[in-house]
Structure 1
Amino acid sequence: MKAIIFAAGKGERMRPLTDQTPKPLLTVNGKALIDFHLEKLAKAGFSQVIINLAYKGEMIKHHCGNGHRYGLAIEYSEEGPEPLETGGALNLCLPWFQNQCFAMISADIYCNFDYVNLAQRIRDLESIDAQANLALVANPDHNPKGDFSLQHDTLRLAHQQTYTYSGIGVAKPTLIDHFPLKRQRFPLREAFYYWLDKSKVHGYLCSGFWSDVGTPARLEALQSSPTGTH
């Protein structure tokens, strides 16, 4: 199974911490954020990972290497000095997916979700008429209005009870390949909205701990929390 980890962002909200260190290499209790994801992917049976790179990408490549120490084969998609955003990143990686469903994970989140569930979601997605299945979480304080509502297992635009996209999901390459507005640089949410309007984006609610490590204060809170040991 394959996965992509989004790791190209500049982490501007995390400054000054990201002035010298790319956000995926910031640590929680001594371990880089990206390492938590790679280790859980390997444990769940994933074998191949591609990491997109832009800001201080060489540092990420040096840290993760070829992936053997995680039990993975890691490749890199180098975007240049300016990130292509998440949609552009997937578009650039389409040949690598080889028409296989894949997991997608934002490097700058921290959670204790079991990625075995992601592997099962990939198998389920292969057999249904949907483009993606996204993990949703209860709305955090910094996103009180949420992103989507969930009707049975299908995502709708936010109304009534809402949830936040966790930055974790599974998708088919056609999510991007058949998106008529794809281009070199665009956010993935545009493709979500396009397919959501056709009832082809599914979702599921995750319990457990989750944090968008978007500010130095949120990172600091993880250091002293028992959740930072997962």
Structure 2
Amino acid sequence: MKAMIFAAGLGTRLRPFTDNKPKALVEVAGKTLLQRAIEKVSGAGFEEIVVNIHHYGDQIIDFLEGNNNFGLDIQISDERDELLDTGGGILKARPLLEGSEPFLVYNVDVLCSLDLKKLLRWHREHQALATLVVRKRETARYLLFDKEMQLSGWTNIKTGEVKMARQTPEVGKFAFSGIHIIEPSVFPLITETGKFPIIPMYLHLAAQNAIYGFEDTSDLWMDLGKLEQLKVAEEMLQNR
């Protein structure tokens, strides 16, 4: 099975660590974020991995080659000419991701205890076009889901902005966790081109397609793209 690890971000929230290296190669408890992400997805059976690169992308290529790709089939989606955001990044990697099975998308700065095999089973059972992992946590921007956990809209609680994809009588607010499972059949449905974020794409697809949320209630989820979280994770992992 295939997975894509988003490793092209600028990592501005991790400065000064990212002044001379990509976010993916920042270390926490002796391992880079990229190695931890690779171990997480490959441990769930996703052994064909696409890694997108931009900021200091040559260092990621050298790191993977120096580690013999961790014994996996790892390919590079090169965005060094232009950072394409989440939706554009997936679209560029289309030739590497297409096939007969759903593929996983995983942010390099996520540290979690989610059972990815359970997520994949849930996605298949619900015959979803895409399944977004979400959690009940505080954030400024929420995804809105109906009682069946189908994506219905999005809101920014700071600005009051609301975008609805489907009108439903009741909605629940969840925060996106940077992990999703997508069917390759999504590619012909994408109308966006170039650089674009994926959440607006999901919203327009949700009007006529099964875009689901999977609530992650596992005990660990952290965004290691923030300095304060990186320090907490360092202490936690060292004490394990």
Interval containing the TM-score (normalised by the shorter chain): 0.7 to 0.9
Closer/same/farther in 2, CA of residues 69 and 83 from structure 1, 3 Å limit: closer
How far the C-alpha of 1:145 sits from its partner, in A, is 4.9
The alignment of Structure 1 onto Structure 2 pairs a total of residues equal to: 223
- Asked if 1:133 corresponds to 2:144, the answer is no
**Alpha-carbon deviations, 1:140-168, whole Å to 9, x = none?**
4xx15523335223122247531111110
Alignment of 1:61-210 (within 5 A): 61-65=61-65, 68=68, 70-100=70-100, 101-121=102-122, 123-124=124-125, 128=127, 130-140=128-138, 143-158=139-154, 161-180=172-191, 182-207=192-217, 208-210=219-221
Aligned-pair RMSD on alpha carbons?
A: 2.3
Relative to the length of structure 2, the TM-score reads 0.83
Quick check: which has more Rg, 1 or 2? 2
Contact 2:7 2:108 in 1 (8 A): yes
Q: Gaps (5+ residues) in structure 2?
A: 156-170
Q: Residue 70 of structure 1: SS of its match in structure 2?
A: helix
Q: Residue 163 of structure 1: SS of its match in structure 2?
A: strand
Who is 2:232 aligned against? 221
Q: Gaps (5+ residues) in structure 1?
A: none
How far the C-alpha of 1:90 sits from its partner, in A, is 1.0
Q: What is the alpha-carbon distance in structure 2 between the residues aligned to residue 187 and residue 23 of structure 1?
A: 19
Q: What is the alpha-carbon distance in structure 2 between the residues aligned to residue 188 and residue 39 of structure 1?
A: 25
Q: Residue 13 of structure 1: SS of its match in structure 2?
A: helix
How far the C-alpha of 1:91 sits from its partner, in A, is 0.9
Q: What is the alpha-carbon distance in structure 2 between the residues aligned to residue 78 and residue 124 of structure 1?
A: 34
Q: What is the alpha-carbon distance in structure 2 between the residues aligned to residue 4 and residue 122 of structure 1?
A: 17
How far the C-alpha of 1:42 sits from its partner, in A, is 1.9
Q: What is the alpha-carbon distance in structure 2 between the residues aligned to residue 228 and residue 136 of structure 1?
A: 27
Over 4 Å off, 4+ runs: 66-69, 226-229
Who is 1:19 aligned against? 19
Closer/same/farther in 2, CA of residues 124 and 63 from structure 1, 3 Å limit: farther
Closer/same/farther in 2, CA of residues 46 and 97 from structure 1, 3 Å limit: same
Relative to the length of structure 1, the TM-score reads 0.86
Q: What is the alpha-carbon distance in structure 1 between the residues aligned to residue 203 and residue 238 of structure 2?
A: 32
Contact 1:155 1:201 in 2 (8 A): yes
Closer/same/farther in 2, CA of residues 228 and 87 from structure 1, 3 Å limit: farther
